[in-house]
């Protein structure tokens, strides 16, 4: 894909940033510290995977409002004409079940606390992807993150804002002893850091050192694992040392559909990247164009149908009752497309048979490209921090259903429906590049909108990311950004959409992208909704 010149006269919502071009290497992240770490590693002779792992390691420190050392991660790596996928999401504790939670007085899966966490997979994903593709020593790759943890870094504005929101949220839970370590580590002065204030963590530094020395083994089968298990046992949790020791990340084959000549790649279930592909298959059989409202209406309706389907069918692959081939069949796409009319519909799942995350991407001079996403799920996650380690634990258990009849029901040792999805584009067997937009259930919706901005409207990467977005939130309810023209909003309302105009840009996701031109030139973008930074040489 060739970037086009930006002309604000031709585009009613001009970007606040411009694309960045480079020849040798590039890193894009929603946080300046992380992007800098990636570039440092490239300049030391590391490849795109080394840079991405270095960025992953610093993110729990630099942007703890979206991920932690107790996160999950998904990775896609393009190397020598092939795309590889790594699923770094962990399962529920083996003793977890609906009955076990009910016995503890739960009527639903808790959003916070020790009962919200499953096995964290991010650290294992770092080690696995580096072992297969890395070029530098693992300890050298983690060294920049350790240095920042020991000596500190200035907190960026968006992270400071999200951190402040978290302090208010967790303050209401402080009477429960399991949450006290969060305040000890992340709010020792009972407040969030201000923008530009230096934050450091000797605990995270010490944990990263042991991860570096043992290539992650200490986290799952050593002293770090023992600390995690001991804290969960002390507070009535279900996660054990055996749960940690028995887990390994899984190499998988990414899924793709061809959309108007481009192959769009997503990770297979248990992630919901397939939602993107289903929506694009539906839209590929429709004529998109003027007026704007018609296109937005079609996008929204296709997305509603795809998300309803994946919410019903996607879970641990062995527990799915339909196949990915069935969900992505031409016949099923045609059936879903036929449901889209002039008015907003109330979507229902069909039968095809018969709040926060960090995303970053890298590229090197040899053609390797990485799409990497890492998340605790809701902001800091479950609110659980393991004392003395700086490990903030995920709250991924909440993505299970509390219904024994559902395919995605909570069961022991099972991975849940997962929201984080790295994306990738290729064309005619050649890499175009990685992209991703963080933000829970907004992620597949943003993927579809950004892909269509690139392919259908020929916007450059920065324009594609910065364009106004909408988000379906259930039923006929749509949130839409305030820079969509009021006349278009009114037209959507007349079609039956229940529209709320949103001024909070962070609710619509925050993404990055790197595209490679046929001559090898890299074109990077990071959007207006983040503190994003592009670093290159």
| Phi, psi at 187, each rounded to 5° | -145, 60
* Three-state SS sequence of 109-133: CCCCCHHHCCCCCHHHHHHHHHHHH
Rg of the chain over Cα atoms, rounded to whole angstroms, equals 22
- CB of 328 closer than 8 Å to CB of 257: yes
In sequence order, which residues have a C-beta less than 8 Å from that of residue 66 and are 6 or more positions away?
A: 30, 59, 162, 356, 357, 358, 375, 376, 379, 438
Per DSSP, 415 falls in state P
Q: Pick the catalytic residue: 27, 158, 357, 362?
A: 357
Q: Is 293 an annotated catalytic residue?
A: no
For residue 429, count CB atoms less than 10 angstroms from its CB and return exposed for 0-12, middle for 13-18, buried for 19 or more: exposed
* Three-state SS sequence of 12-29: CCCCCCCCEEECCCEEEE
Residue written as tokens 């339909």?
322
Q: How far is CA 312 from the centre of its chain?
A: 20
**Residue 88, SS3 per DSSP:** strand
Interhelix angle 292-313/486-494, nearest 10 degrees:
60
Query: Which uninterrupted H or E stretch holds 59?
Result: helix 48-62
Per DSSP, 424 falls in state E
**Residue 235, SS3 per DSSP:** coil
CA distance to 107, 111, 233, 238, 417, per residue, from 101 (Å):
8, 13, 15, 10, 19
* Three-state SS sequence of 461-497: HHHHHHCCCEEEEECCEEEEECCCCHHHHHHHHHCCC
Per DSSP, 356 falls in state E
Give the ranges where 355-483 is alpha helix by DSSP (H).
443-455, 461-466
- The whole-angstrom separation of Cα 143 and Cα 149 is 10
Residue written as tokens 């849940």?
416
**Residue 355, SS3 per DSSP:** coil
- The whole-angstrom separation of Cα 521 and Cα 535 is 14
Rounded to whole angstroms, the maximal C-alpha distance in the chain is 62
- The whole-angstrom separation of Cα 369 and Cα 26 is 9
Cis, peptide link before residue 317, omega less than 30° from 0: no
Q: Which residues participate in catalysis according to the annotation?
A: 357
């Amino acid at each position: 894909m060739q970037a086009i010149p930006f002309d604000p006269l031709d585009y009613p919502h001009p970007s606040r940033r411009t694309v960045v071009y480079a020849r040798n290497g590039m890193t894009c992240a929603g946080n300046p510290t992380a992007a800098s770490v990636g570039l440092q590693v490239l300049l030391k002779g590391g490849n795109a995977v080394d840079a991405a792992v270095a960025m992953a390691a610093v993110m729990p420190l630099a942007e703890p409002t979206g991920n932690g050392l107790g996160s999950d991660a998904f990775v896609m790596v393009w190397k020598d004409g092939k795309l590889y996928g790594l699923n770094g999401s962990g399962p529920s504790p083996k003793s977890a079940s609906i009955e076990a939670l009910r016995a503890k007085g739960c009527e639903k899966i808790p959003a916070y606390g020790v009962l919200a966490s499953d096995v964290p997979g991010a650290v294992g994903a770092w080690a696995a992807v580096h072992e297969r593709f890395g070029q530098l020593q693992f300890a050298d790759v983690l060294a920049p993150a350790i240095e920042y943890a020991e000596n500190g870094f200035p907190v960026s504005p968006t992270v400071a804002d999200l951190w402040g929101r978290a302090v208010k949220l967790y303050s209401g839970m402080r009477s429960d002893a399991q949450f006290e370590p969060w305040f000890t580590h992340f709010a020792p002065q009972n407040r969030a850091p201000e923008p530009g204030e230096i934050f450091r963590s000797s605990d995270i530094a010490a944990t990263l050192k042991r991860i570096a020395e043992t290539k992650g083994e200490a986290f799952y089968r050593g002293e770090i694992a023992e600390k995690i298990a001991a804290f969960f046992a002390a507070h009535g949790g279900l996660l054990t040392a055996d749960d940690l020791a028995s887990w390994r990340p899984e190499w998988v084959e990414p899924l793709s559909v061809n959309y108007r000549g481009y192959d769009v790649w997503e990770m297979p279930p248990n992630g919901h990247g397939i939602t993107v592909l289903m929506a694009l298959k539906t839209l590929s059989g429709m004529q998109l164009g003027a007026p704007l409202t018609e296109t937005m209406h079609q996008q929204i309706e296709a997305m509603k149908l795809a998300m309803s389907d994946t919410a019903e069918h996607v879970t641990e692959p062995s527990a799915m009752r339909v196949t990915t081939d069935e969900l992505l069949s031409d016949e099923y796409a045609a059936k879903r497309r036929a449901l889209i009319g002039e008015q907003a519909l109330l979507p229902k799942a069909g039968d095809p048979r018969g709040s926060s995350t960090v995303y970053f991407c890298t590229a090197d001079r040899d053609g390797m490209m990485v799409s990497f996403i890492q998340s605790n799920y809701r902001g800091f996650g479950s609110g659980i921090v393991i004392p003395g380690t700086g490990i903030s634990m995920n709250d991924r258990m909440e993505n299970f259903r509390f219904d024994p009849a559902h395919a995605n029901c909570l069961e022991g040792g099972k991975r849940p429906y997962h929201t984080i999805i790295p994306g990738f584009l290729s064309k005619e067997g050649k890499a175009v590049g990685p992209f991703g937009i963080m933000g829970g259930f907004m992620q597949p919706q943003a993927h579809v909108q950004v892909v269509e901005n690139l392919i259908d409207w020929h916007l450059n990467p920065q324009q594609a990311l910065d364009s106004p977005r909408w988000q379906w939130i259930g039923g006929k309810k749509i949130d839409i950004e305030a820079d969509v023209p009021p006349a278009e909003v009114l037209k959507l309302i007349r079609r039956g959409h229940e529209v709320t105009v949103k001024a909070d840009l962070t609710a619509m996701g925050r993404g990055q992208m790197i595209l490679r031109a046929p001559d090898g030139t890299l074109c990077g973008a990071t959007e207006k909704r983040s503190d994003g930074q592009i670093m290159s040489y």
